[in-house]
Amino acid sequence: MHVPPDAAVDGEQTAEAVPGRHSHTYFGKRITPASAPIEEAPGMGLPADDPESGVVPPARTVARPGRQVKRWQPHQPQVAAPPVPGPVHPVDVSPGRLSGEGLAWVAAHGGCGATTLTAVLGGVDLGCRWPQAARNEPARVLLVARTHAQGLRAASRALNAIREGRHPADMQLMGLVLVADAPGGLPRPLLSRIKVLRSAVPVYRIPWIPAWRIGKKIDRLPRQVTKLEQRVRAVLLGARMTA
């Protein structure tokens, strides 16, 4: 049966055409959505032709009561804030001289293993700072770092501070202890960096020891640790250390 366009269907009231709205028919019923028309700002569509221009197209929103849906926006990279400058190892400005006895472990960065080496081999753990005369701390120090890239960079910064005189005047650096950051060998770039460090200061390599990772002691120390232990004992006994 033909139904005229202006006639009602099943008691339906004919809806007048509303600009911006579209009518849909569901099970013989014509329904006009109550939502407002979609508003599009100028510049919709693809981003600017030149991606380097930095022009971001405006977002498309659907005007609904209490809700706003935004269209996908191109990613805008965030610029990281520059690091705050400052010495990693503060210089001791207190009067007096450092102690001629004992040995101190200085960490080039956190988590390098200086505390574990202190517990196993003896000495004083100073953390990430130089010894202080006011505390009667040892003048002889061993610098400790991990063998990953960040650890070697931290060791380089500490050695540069020593080279530039940013350390206690009577402090004596006895060597650099590099603790393995993982089992196995090191990549070639890290080995090359260690070679450069070895040309400036005696370097002692400590292998990966799984027991140390969980805080346990081992009965037999590896050969590399034994060599370092002999050096530490010589300093603790007051003997002169040689490279």
Percentage of the chain exceeding pLDDT 70: 58
Residue 93, pLDDT above cutoff 50: yes
Q: What angle do CA 98, 100, 101 make, to 5 degrees?
A: 115
Which CATH number does the domain housing residue 190 bear? 3.40.50
Task: Please state the rounded mean pLDDT for residues 184-198.
Answer: 96
Residue 84: inside a domain, yes or no? no
- pLDDT at res. 231: 86
Tokens 């770039």 identify what position?
Answer: 189
C-alpha–C-alpha distance, residues 223 and 102, integer Å: 23
Residue 46: inside a domain, yes or no? no
Residue 217, pLDDT above cutoff 50: yes
Q: What is the pLDDT of residues 15-51, one digit of tens each?
A: 444 444 455 554 555 555 444 443 433 433 334 444 4
Tokens of residue 167, six digits: 């350390």
Domain count, the chain: 1
Expressed as residue numbers, the domain containing 158 is: 104-236
The DSSP-derived string for 24-47 is EEETTEEE---SPPPB--TT-SS-
- pLDDT at res. 159: 96
**3-state secondary structure string, 105-137?**
EEECCCCCCHHHHHHHHCCEEEECCCCCHHHCC
Instruction: Give Cα separations from 59 to 36, 46, 50, 78, 100 (angstroms).
Output: 17, 11, 18, 20, 70
Extended beta strands in the chain, E state: 24-26, 29-31, 104-107, 124-127, 140-146, 172-179, 203-206
Which amino acid does the sequence have at 170? D
Tokens of residue 19, six digits: 């600009």
Task: Please state the rounded mean pLDDT for residues 44-67.
Answer: 46
Residue 78: inside a domain, yes or no? no
Residue 119: inside a domain, yes or no? yes
Backbone angles phi, psi at 78, to 5 degrees: -100, 135
